[in-house]
Structures are given as C-alpha cells and as structure tokens.
Structure 1
Amino acid sequence: MSGPALTRLGVVLSDRGSRYAVSGAPVQCRAEIDAVLAALKIDRAYARATHNTWAALLPTGALKADDGEAGAGMVILRMLERAGLDNHLIVVTRWYGGKKLGGDRFRRVQDAVRAYLEQTGLSDG
C-alpha cells in the first residue's frame, strides 16, 4: 500500500489491565489520515481495539477523534501543539482491561504520546 509511512511502536504501557499502543505518520490532509488509520486497522488487533483515538495539526486546521474515549483526542492535540509538530498524525490505541481508569486514562494517553515523540526523535526533550 502506498501512502504515508506508518510508525507503530506497539504496546508501550499497561494500567490495570488496559494496554496502550501508539502509532503515527506524517500526513498532509484528511485523506492521508484516513489511509493511515485504514493501514493500522489491517492488523486485526488494532481493528478490534476498544479505542483508536487520534489527532493531527494540518495547514487546514486541527483534526481529532476520540473514538469513544471522550476527551482523548484533545489530549493528543494539545501535546502536538506543545511539541510544535505539524503535519503528523498520532494514534493512541487502547484495549480496555476491565477496570475503569477515571482521569488516569488521560495520563496514560499523555504517556503514550510522550513515548512516541521520544522514540521517534520528534520531541525536543
């Protein structure tokens, strides 16, 4: 499949049974975001995940989706803004482990995004 190069780090952390993975790719438009999401979901584990939340800062504006994890897209978006990372999609995938995490779920999303930025060399820190 042609299109943006997908970087998939796999599961980067677990919390009370829930597992979090993080992926990303450079993107220029919504069509490329859709292509990356489709490529990610070719893997049945990602297709069956409880949530695939994502965000991207494009020249046309910010885009995000919570995929049922209310507020998670905004958490990713804010981290992209702080990192000054335009034209890049970050997807945080969660497989629900049976226990509600409350506000900690946002900290796990932040941890996953931070791991992606660090491991791909896209962070300043």
Structure 2
Amino acid sequence: MLQLENVVSDRGSRYAVSGGPVKGPDDIAAFLKELKRHKKYAKATHNSWAVLQSDGTQRKGDDGESGAGNVILRMLERDGVTDHIVVVTRWYGGKHLGGDRFRHVQTCVKAYLDAL
C-alpha cells in the first residue's frame, strides 16, 4: 500500500491519497478495510476510490463526496492504469470548497500516479 499524506490543504480541509494493486471486489473490500484500520482514515469525512479492472469493469465509490470516484476513474482510464485502486481521503475542515474539491482530487491522483 502506497500512501501519500498531506497532499493538499485548503480552507481547513486536508487530503491524502493511497493505493495498491487489486484483482476484484474481494481485494477492493480488503484494501479499504486495511486502510480504515488506521484510526485517522476510519474517521475521515470521505474515502473516495476507483478501480479500472483489466477486463474493462469499472468500480468506484464516492463515500459522500459526490462525483469524486468518477474523477479518479477518468484519470485511471486516461493513464491506462488497471487493476489498481486509488483512494483519495478528505478530512473536512468546516468550509465548503465547491468545485475546488475536484481539482484537489485530481491533484491527489496525479501525485499518486507520479509516485508509482
């Protein structure tokens, strides 16, 4: 599991990104369970994620951050990254970010892909 913490901070909200290889729904569930074993990730406001499987199946979860899973999925498609989960974690800081939240998700995913 690769984790990058404190990738973005904006108006009190903090973002991190994590990821690793997965083969299917069982691996995805196991990855998310392992991530949330860490108390700070379990208490995060959102753990949005996406996976593009090598057979073309798309899986994503917004975890309350509407549209974030789709942003992650599109970036994985663009870079051709398959069988790999990417999770963007947000700790809400008390102020709404509007559309900036999607730019922050993109920044996190880019930082993760660059670190692979």
TM tier, shorter chain? over 0.9
Alignment of 1:1-125 (within 5 A): 6-58=1-53, 59=55, 61-120=57-116
Q: What's the secondary structure of 1:102's corresponding residue?
A: coil
User: Aligned equivalents of 2:75 and 2:15: distance in 1?
Assistant: 17
Identity of aligned residues (%): 60
Q: Which structure 1 residue ranges, 4+ long, deviate > 3 Å from structure 2?
A: none
TM-score normalised by L of structure 1: 0.90
Structure 1: state its 5+ residue gaps. 1-5, 121-125
Structure number with higher relative contact order (C-alpha < 8 Å, ≥ 6 residues apart): 2
How far is the alpha carbon of 1:8 from its aligned partner? 1.1
How far is the alpha carbon of 1:11 from its aligned partner? 2.0
User: Aligned equivalents of 2:30 and 2:6: distance in 1?
Assistant: 21
User: Aligned equivalents of 1:11 and 1:26: distance in 2?
Assistant: 22
Give the aligned residue type for 1:57.
L
How far is the alpha carbon of 1:60 from its aligned partner? 5.6
User: Aligned equivalents of 1:73 and 1:60: distance in 2?
Assistant: 16
TM-score normalised by L of structure 2: 0.97
Structure 2: state its 5+ residue gaps. none
Deviates more, 1:56-65 or 1:29-38: 56-65
User: Aligned equivalents of 1:7 and 1:40: distance in 2?
Assistant: 11
